[in-house]
Amino acid sequence: MTAHVDPRSAAKTPFDLYRAIWRWHFYAGLLVLPFLITLSITGALYLFKDEIDAIVHADVKRVAVQQSVQTPAAQVSAALDAHPGTALKYTAPATPESSAEVTVRTTNDERLAVYVNPYTGRVLGALDDRGTIMWTVRKLHSFKLFGATPRKLIEITGGFAILLVLTGVYLWWPRTNARGGVVSVRGAPQKRVFWRDLHAVTGLFVGAFILFLAITGMPWSGVWGAQVNQWANGNNFGYPAGVRTEVPMSSTQLSEQAPTSWSLEQAQVPESTESTESTGQADIGLNEAVATFERLGLHSGFAVSLPTTPTGVYSGSVYPDDVSQQRVVHLDRYSGEPLVDMRYADYGPLGRWLEFGINVHMGQQFGRANQLLFLAVCVAIILLCVSAGVMWWKRRPKGGLGVPPLPRDKRAFRGILAILVGGGVLFPLTGAAILVMLLIDGFVVRPLQQRRLAARGA
């Protein structure tokens, strides 16, 4: 016997699911649109970090090319004469027109980046370590500038951005033969349909890039990224299998010495195996260390972290635009022998994939084309957010928030709830935010909407 199905209920089911998904698309957008705009503006600026820093800090970063070059040790000595203290790191000029950078911990316990003309040895000036305009933009982009707790908002934003794209595709999907709002924009800016179509069409073309940026940005997040990093790189001293680690290891992590790649954040720094007292060997010195790194083929612009203890090492590291040229080499300070030589090819499959994605995310991997493409993506995301705001403003009722209506059939929530729970398990902070939103929706927004509907019916 065939069960009777109310044709009106069957007809309502797809629209009820649409309403449920629209409702959560609205909530996710309401929460993250301001953050997406901030991320897009700071991200667009950071794409051109080298160019902007070269202009803003031209007085300390740019030099005229000359014939003779001062030794690295002489450049460090000049930096210490101007700012007494302990030299921690020497960064070789990336181009013939670039200055050298010496990181100094001063006698006042400040960390300074001292810029030196490599040809004359003249100190050009000093800034706080990581004190350039682009380092500030980078800290704004990651919310590191505001501390650990606000930084978690970025992780929540990333999870909700993924949710926005997935629900947005469903809302955009054509359900009739109408062409408007699918790949073209109807109406004029005075009409809500114009902003609705602009939002939908922009989202169609930029959605895949939002997914890419959200996924490749997640490794740097404070909770999810830290846990995945520990799982992926937190064993064998943080080095993948096959990289030589049969040497004494210190308790210092590479990330404590200098900015490093995501895959090497857990990597520990080895120790020099011999000391002057036991063998009579002398420290090879910075000049010999730099010459060794050059012979080993490190990409230009590499940084050398200097040993500060008897068992310290010379650590050469470089993270150029071409991700395949990433490399870290630790030298024994007495013998000059490489203790660990770590290349991009040595990363595990997950590490290689993520490092490549991060490099593309930062606009580095494919040169100018990479920068311009993601600049256009950032502008499109801002347009997407602005069109969402205008569309909501034109739709919202007077004196109301304009939350999309409830589905008539509450079963429509089951599918979307499963997606929300799945996303929440994958990204815990996003899951916590979803739980808060569920509580607010269930105990505050729904009762208000139901009372308003009842009042209209009366």
d(CA 69, CA 142): 38
d(CA 191, CA 180): 14
Domain borders along the chain are 7-47+140-183+368-457, 58-131, 241-346
d(CA 88, CA 312): 12
Rg of the Cα atoms in the chain: 28
Residues 128 and 90 sit within 8 Å (Cβ to Cβ): no
Q: Per residue in 349-396, pLDDT tens?
A: 888 998 999 999 999 999 999 999 999 999 999 999 999 999 988 888
Orientation of helix 7-46 relative to helix 412-426, angle to 10°: 30
Residues 69 and 119 sit within 8 Å (Cβ to Cβ): yes
Q: Per residue in 278-323, pLDDT tens?
A: 556 789 999 999 999 999 999 999 999 999 999 999 999 999 999 9
Tokens 């509580």 sit on residue: 439
CA angle 331, 336, 340 (to 5 degrees): 30
Measure the CA dihedral 181/182/183/188, to 10°: 0
Q: Mind listing the pLDDT tens digit of every residue in the chain (458 residues)? A: 344 444 444 444 567 788 888 888 998 898 889 999 999 999 999 999 999 999 999 999 999 999 999 999 999 999 999 999 999 999 999 999 999 999 999 999 999 999 999 999 999 999 999 999 999 999 999 888 888 777 788 888 998 999 899 999 988 888 776 666 788 888 888 888 899 999 999 999 999 999 999 999 988 877 787 777 777 776 667 777 667 677 888 888 888 888 888 888 888 999 998 655 555 678 999 999 999 999 999 999 999 999 999 999 999 999 999 999 999 999 999 999 999 999 999 988 888 998 999 999 999 999 999 999 999 999 999 999 999 999 988 888 776 778 887 777 777 777 677 777 777 777 888 888 888 888 888 888 888 877 777 777 65
pTM of the complete model: 0.88
pLDDT at 244 (0 to 100): 66
| Helix (H) or strand (E) segment spanning residue 227 | helix 224-233
Phi, psi of 137 (to 5 degrees): -60, -40
User: What is the β-pairing status of strands 123-128 and 313-318?
Assistant: unpaired
**Would you identify the CATH topology of the domain 58-131?**
Nuclear Transport Factor 2; Chain: A, (3.10.450)
